[in-house]
Amino acid sequence: MRSLLFIPGDDAKKIAKGLASGADALILDLEDSVAASRKAEARRLVCETLKAQGASGPRLIVRVNALKSGEITADLDGVMPGGPASIMLPKCEGGADLQHLGALLAVREAENNLPDGQTRIIAIATETPLALFRLGSIPGASQRLEALTWGAEDLAGAIGAEANRDASGAYTDPFRYARSLALFAATASEVAPVDTVYTDFRNEAGLRAECLAARRDGFTAKMAIHPAQVAVINEVFTPDAKAIAHAQKIIDFFAANPDSGVVGIDGQMIDKPHLVQAERLLARAKAAGLA
């Protein structure tokens, strides 16, 4: 996955546009974008969409309400008959929350004749101050975990920040810290690190710059809030031909010379950490159908 597009779960027209957007995954939302009075309708429409789409089209993820919300039982009961690919857990506060959700999913997989463990989990892991202290408990907590992302909007409200970006548009220190910890937690868990949304959806240059910075730092995907953002995200997070060729050259050399430690390739000193990077890049390229 390169692009994960949020769609309000109670809006059929936006769901239809999302399905045609080119996003690798849709996040059918039952949480923040759906009013309390519309939760039941959103569950019904999301389940209907899951059943209609099946395995075709983009990957379908459902963002449920938080474990402490009082809504998650109804959310899972409403959407699990449709067999979502993944459940996105907001306000995840560590490994225990992942285990709790995993137990809830296991029961509903059995009730709906779904394969045990089929439903994966994507955690939003920085939306509360407590969550930051518990990121170290996430690695190894659940085999269902497939990706980890971070959020700046809820965290800003939780800590009472007047803003999460400075005048230049860059994140301020508390949020850069949360972003870095989320990246480390994802890679320590050996799951995909996904960058958060860019809310100024009409600012294509700003989006591109943020995508490039995220890719540079190790993120492999980014969430979107508008279909217009998908093309830029897909472009930036798709390895280009030059990068693929360079990665393949590194992999081929170490395959042919397994006892080598350091080698010069294309004017660069390359060692085993570069091999790991090359393997990851090539895996992303294969997922995008380019290698």
Is the Cβ–Cβ distance between 135 and 185 less than 8 Å?
yes
How much is the pTM? 0.90
Return per-residue pLDDT of the chain as tens, 291 residues: 999 999 999 999 999 999 999 999 999 999 999 999 999 999 999 999 999 998 789 999 999 999 999 999 999 999 999 999 999 999 999 999 999 999 999 999 999 999 999 999 999 999 999 999 999 999 999 999 999 999 999 999 999 999 999 999 999 999 999 999 999 999 999 999 999 999 999 999 999 999 999 999 999 999 999 999 999 999 999 988 888 888 888 888 888 887 777 777 777 888 878 888 888 888 888 877 776
Q: What is the pLDDT of residue 81?
A: 98
Predicted pLDDT of residue 258: 79
Q: What phi and psi, each to the nearest 5 degrees, are found at residue 269?
A: -85, 120
- pLDDT value of position 220: 95
Check if CATH label 3.40.50.300 holds for domain 3-236.
Answer: no
Cα 210 from Cα 40, distance rounded (Å): 36
Q: What is the pLDDT of residue 291?
A: 64
CB 138 within 8 A of CB 98: yes
- Contact in structure between 157 and 176 (CB atoms under 8 Å): no
Dihedral class, residue 117 (left if φ above 0, else alpha if ψ from -120 to 50, else beta): left
Domain extents in the chain: 3-236, 241-287
Do 151 and 196 meet the contact criterion of CB atoms below 8 Å apart?
yes
